[in-house]
Chain A
Amino acid sequence: EAQVTQNPRYLITVTGKKLTVTCSQNMNHEYMSWYRQDPGLGLRQIYYSMNVEVTDKGDVPEGYKVSRKEKRNFPLILESPSPNQTSLYFCASSPDLGSSYEQYFGPGTRLTVT
C-alpha cells in the first residue's frame, strides 16, 4: 500500500529532551516536507526537501532540524524542545515538483512538550 508513515503518532516529552519524529514514504517520491498545524494558525511549513541531501527552510524552521540521507526517509529533529513546539505535525511527500503537486500526507504526530 502506498503510504507515508510517521512515528511516533503521539508523544509527550519534557523541555530540552531531544527527540526525533520519523517519516517514511514507499512511493519513491522526490519531494518531502514537514508541517505543523496549530489552532488558529493553520498548516505551516517547517522544512522541505526536493531530493536526497537537498533541504531548505519553510516558514517556521526555528528549533527544528531535518536530514535527507535516503530518498524514502525525512526525519524531523527537535534538539531542545520547548512548550511552544507543542503541535500536530504532518509529514508529506510528492512525486515531483511542477504544477501537478499532489502531496500525500502522513497520519500526523501529536507532540506535547511540558
Chain B
Amino acid sequence: QKEVEQNSGPLSVPEGAIASLNCTYSDRVSQSFFWYRQYSGKSPELIMSIYSNGDKEDGRFTAQLNKASQYVSLLIRDSQPSDSATYLCAAMNSGYSTLTFGKGTMLLVSP
C-alpha cells in the first residue's frame, strides 16, 4: 500500500512567521507531488506542484522535493491568518493514474 505521511498538527505559527509543512512518501517511483489547501468544510484546492528535486517558488510558497529521502515540504513565508487551513500532500503513482493523499496537517496562524 502506497502511503503519504504527514504530521496531523496543529502547527501553530504567529502572523508573519514561516510555516514549514512536511511530508514523506513510500512509493520510491513516484515522480509528481502536490500540495493542496483545504479550508474547513470546503474542497481541496491546488497550491503547488513539484516534479524535480530542489525548490520551486510561487509567491509566498516554496515547495521542496528530495527524491532520495522521499521527502516533500512546503514553506509558507509571511504567514497570514487566512493561511489557516489543512494542507494536504499528495503523490502521483508511477502510472499517472491515481493520487495518494496524506491525512493533512492543520496550520493555525495567529494574529
Contacts and interface: CB of A to CB of B under 8 A. Distances in A.
Chains A and B form a bound pair: yes
Contact of A103 (B46, B96, B102, B104): B46
Contacts, number: 55
Contact of A42 (B42, B49, B103): B103
Given A41-B103, A99-B31, A101-B96, A90 B49 contact: no
Contacts of A35: 101
A41 B100 CA distance: 12
A107 B88 contact: no
Interface stretch (A20-28, A43-51, A68-76, A78-86): A43-51
Contacts of B98: 33, 45, 48, 58-59
B104 A42 contact: yes
A90 B101 CA distance: 13
Given A41-B103, A42-B88, A42-B101, A99 B45 contact: no
A45 B102 contact: no
A58 B45 CA distance: 20
Contacts of B69: none
25 contacts: A33-B99, A35-B101, A41-B103, A42-B102, A42-B104, A43-B44, A43-B88, A44-B101, A48-B98, A58-B98, A59-B1, A90-B43, A97-B97, A99-B31, A99-B32, A99-B92, A99-B96, A101-B34, A101-B49, A101-B92, A102-B49, A103-B46, A105-B45, A107-B43, A108-B43
Given A103-B44, A103-B99, 10 more contacts: A42-B104, A43-B88, A48-B97, A59-B1, A97-B96, A97-B97, A98-B96, A99-B92, A101-B92, A105-B43
Interface of B: 1, 31-32, 34, 42-46, 49, 51, 88, 92, 96-104
